[in-house]
Amino acid sequence: ERRRRTAGLVESAPRPRLHRVAANLLPLWLAAVAAYLVTWLVLIVLTWPNASAYGHPPAGPLLADLAAVAAFTCGGYLIGWYVPWWSPAPLVAVGGYTLLVMWGLYAGSGLAELMPTAPGFRTGQESAGWADAAHTAWFGGLAAALFLAVGAVRKWLLVLPLVVAVCGAVPLLDRPDEVWVPDRAGAVLVCEGERPQICLRRAHESRRNDLTGPVRWAYALFEGAATVPVRFEERGPAGRSSGASGEASAGPSPVTFAIVSSGELGSDSRLDYFQRDAVLQDLLRWDCETEPGAPPWNHEILLWAHWQWPGAMDGMERGPVVRTLDAMDRHERAAWFTDYFAAARSCDARLVDRP
């Protein structure tokens, strides 16, 4: 504002003051919108392999963000209009980002919802429709009030956009816990196959090819055991599945497993190993609420399973349980694992002998 000296242009142009301010402010807002949309498009492209499973990017948060961009643009314009020095520009920039960071400390509170940031991870959730409308009203009303503070001759006109902003802010302050709701469409399980049947959340359908290999390999280790689970369900954000698009298979209880992401490991170098381990850990888990629970040698069953992948356990010594299972033929091993999975599901270690 100080560089362009639009204040003098506004006063000299033969147009109503509000029109002149709007003509000067519009290019600034469009530049900010262009910068936002470029960033948005880049992120859409980078996340499309996973995000495309949801169908399309949500429009509600996008509109609220554009209203927030308008509010910040009008705020900066207002400061430049009334403060006749260049120094506020970098101070406002640094102070604005500092405010966003500090405001994030109140994550989960109503105050945090009054800023255009969403601190924390929202796995398996989406913003509620009423919250998108409230955010748009809050930021849009604030932007209009700041614009009228500069351009309106009758300052009482600020009352209307301020009322809109307050109407948007009140429910956000009052109901911060309801702003984010479970993403039911993305959490519905989609199942494919029979033995094994692999069920993934709709949001992660694009990762099916990466997960099918580890699950089928783990199931093949115990194929032939009558009690081995044949249904593998992705664990939901709350630790449980959210229902499937088809009927559940008869037989043993399904296994819920976690998806391992390369971001959690820092690289993709051992992603396959950790995904196999995640499936095996859940497949061989004893979910016992009472003692004694799993037998003390149960961890060696997991080691035996990892030994079956070529090169996965190089340099490690085989324990007695691993050697015994390796010495069994296929039928003996299937019979033993039939007892093992029956014991694990009933949490009764007496039903299976140590190999």
- Give the whole-angstrom CA distance, residue 260 versus residue 111: 34
More confident residue, 73 or 314: 73
User: Cα dist. 304→316, 318, 334 in Å?
Assistant: 11, 8, 14
Q: Which residue has the tokens 């694990």?
A: 344
Asked whether the beta carbons of 105 and 99 are under 8 A apart, the reply is no
| Model pLDDT for residues 19-51, shown as the tens digit of each residue | 777 877 888 888 989 999 999 899 888 877 666
User: Cα dist. 215→7, 68, 222, 264 in Å?
Assistant: 67, 45, 12, 20
More confident residue, 295 or 168: 168
Q: Is 180 helix (H, G, I), strand (E, B) or coil?
A: strand
Does 14 have pLDDT greater than 70? no
- Give the whole-angstrom CA distance, residue 133 versus residue 179: 11
| Model pLDDT for residues 186-231, shown as the tens digit of each residue | 777 888 888 888 998 877 777 788 888 888 988 888 888 888 888 8
pTM for this one?
A: 0.63
| Model pLDDT for residues 130-184, shown as the tens digit of each residue | 999 999 999 999 999 988 888 777 878 888 999 999 999 999 888 888 888 887 7
| Overall average pLDDT of the 296-319 stretch | 78
Average pLDDT score over the chain: 79
- Give the whole-angstrom CA distance, residue 33 versus residue 36: 5
Radius of gyration of the chain (CA): 30
Q: Which residue has the tokens 């405010």?
A: 99
Give the pLDDT score at 245. 47
Confidence of residue 292 (pLDDT cuts 50, 70, 90): low
Q: Is 83 helix (H, G, I), strand (E, B) or coil?
A: coil
| Overall average pLDDT of the 254-275 stretch | 71
| Model pLDDT for residues 56-102, shown as the tens digit of each residue | 677 788 899 999 999 988 888 888 877 877 777 788 888 878 877 77
- Half-sphere exposure for 309 (CA within 13 Å, toward CB): 19
Does 112 have pLDDT greater than 80? no
Return the domain boundaries, the chain. 6-181, 185-351
Does 301 have pLDDT greater than 80? yes
Does 7 have pLDDT greater than 70? no
